[in-house]
Amino acid sequence: MHPVGIPAGRLTALLAPLSADVRVERLSGDPLLWGRTVEDERYAVVATV
């Protein structure tokens, strides 16, 4: 399976000109969220605009 989506670093870089407060909440490390351990990057981005 090939990765899909946008990496967190790229997304935060795109949001930086629009918001002084951009943060990434990493979600990959919590298997309870996914029902198993995941190897791909999973995250939520929070930005104040």
Is the pLDDT at 1 greater than 70? The verdict is: no
Instruction: Give the C-alpha separation, 43 to 24, whole Å.
Output: 7
21, two tokens:
């407060």
Is the pLDDT at 2 greater than 80? The verdict is: no
Q: What is the pLDDT of residue 47?
A: 93
- Residue 29 — φ and ψ, nearest 5°? -80, 5
**Average pLDDT of the residues in 18-33:** 94
Instruction: Give the C-alpha separation, 24 to 11, whole Å.
Output: 10
DSSP letter (8 states) at residue 16:
T
